[in-house]
Amino acid sequence: MADGERPGPGDPTRVFLLDDHEVVRRGVRDLLDDEPDIMVVREASTSCARACPTWPVRC
């Protein structure tokens, strides 16, 4: 699937991990990495990092 395209049948479920504990994110990512139909596309530790991952944001 190219950027900007909508997912269709057979495309993996795309997941965004958001948790303030790195060990939790790592554990969930390890579990999801074993699933062929799930793809972790981004991770963040705060909602500010989630809001705009390319700009430095002050919360």
* Domain boundaries along the sequence of the chain: 13-47
CA-closest candidate to residue 46, choices 32, 56, 34, 37 = 56
19 has pLDDT over 80: yes
Condensed to tens digits (0 to 9), the pLDDT of residues 21-52 reads 999 999 999 999 999 999 998 888 876 665 55
pLDDT of residue 52: 59
For residues 32, 5, 19, 30, the Cα torsion angle rounded to the nearest 10 degrees is 20
0.75 surpassed by pTM: no
